[in-house]
Amino acid sequence: MKIVVLDGYAANPGDFSWEKMDRLGECVVYDRTAPEELVVRAQGAEALLTNKTVITEEVMGLLPDLKYIGVLATGYNVVDIEAARRRGIVVTNIPAYSTESVAQMVFAHLLNITQRVGYYADENKRGRWTTSEDFCYWSTPLIELAGKRMGIVGLGNTGMATARIALAFGMEVIAYTSKKKEELPEGVVACSLEELFATADVVSLHCPLTEDTKDMVNADRLRLMKPTAILINTGRGPLVNEGDLAEALDKGRILAAGLDVLSQEPPKADNPLLTACNCFITPHIAWATIEARERLLDVAVKNLQHYIAGCPINNVVQL
């Protein structure tokens, strides 16, 4: 069986081996694949693995040997699922591999905003502490998390993991969720979306991107938030109206934002959040810890092994 990995660099830039995948067939790995290169590279492949390379119905139609698409991520919107179903192509994803890493990034952003460790470390490299008149100094608000209210939008795997960490910090946790009251962990209280935005000291987004959730964080909801509130988004970039958030930050309507995702990645140079006040952006790396990527690749191999054995797992297409 011929296996083609279309864009392996993000998941494995060279710190892991593709040996386990090699054992399953003739495996060809490309770091990146441009749209115009896809069909040529994928010719003769029974199995394609993709992270962000889009596989459309047109592409499927030009690849008669294609029987399996493995998405190297949890989200699978890069594949035309309905077209795959019609053609009998198995499509798998990698669920829940980065749950703990993403929750960790929530607090990396939150602690950066509340304690500004990076800022003070840089200031001290420039000699600020050595010239201080006092034994210590600070020039930003320093905020304790204990007793603050964490509002979590969406209580899936990462939302639940974030809630556990928040409770460990001594935070009060409220959530907007479809889960029933008896399904909520101890210490987590369900509430409306409006109450969450209006009363939370920290709002963390963990819901899927749908027509209903696109631009969920907009001017109206930002006006509900406290001027001391912090927004964290490690979910999906389009959950946030970026122009509205930039304006809210620049006008001091909320204190800060920590973002690991944007609506377009890489972002355009004129994205207003890149220069917004108190906006801290990381380049979509919450999922990319060594441990999470190792789990991702292990599950990718298991998915393909089960397909070969005739019993697919993590199949997102109902054939």
Query: How many CA atoms lie within 13 Å of 243's alpha carbon, on the beta-carbon side?
Result: 1
CA distance 318 to 210: 20
Residues 236, 242, 293, 295: which is the catalytic one? 236
Alpha helices (H) in 15-116, listed in sequence order: 19-22, 35-42, 57-61, 81-87, 99-115
Length reported for the chain: 319
Q: How, if at all, do strands 188-190 and 2-5 pair?
A: unpaired
Residues 85, 87, 164, 284: which is the catalytic one? 284
CA distance 12 to 181: 40
Dihedral sign of CA atoms 262, 263, 267, 273 in order: negative
Residues 57, 144, 183, 265: which is the catalytic one? 265
Complete edge-to-edge strand list for the sheet that includes strand 2-5: 26-29, 2-5, 47-50, 68-71, 90-92
CB 104 within 8 A of CB 292: no
CB 190 within 8 A of CB 176: yes
Dihedral sign of CA atoms 249, 253, 256, 262 in order: negative
284 is catalytic: yes
Cα angle 275, 197, 159; round to 5: 90
Which of these, 78, 17, 21, lies nearest to 302 by C-alpha position?
21
Q: How, if at all, do strands 26-29 and 230-233 pair?
A: unpaired
Instruction: Point out which residues pair with 48 in neighbouring strands.
Output: 4, 69
**13: amino acid identity, one letter:** P
Q: How many helices (H) and strands (E) does the chain have?
A: 11, 12
- Active-site residues, by number, are 236, 265, 284
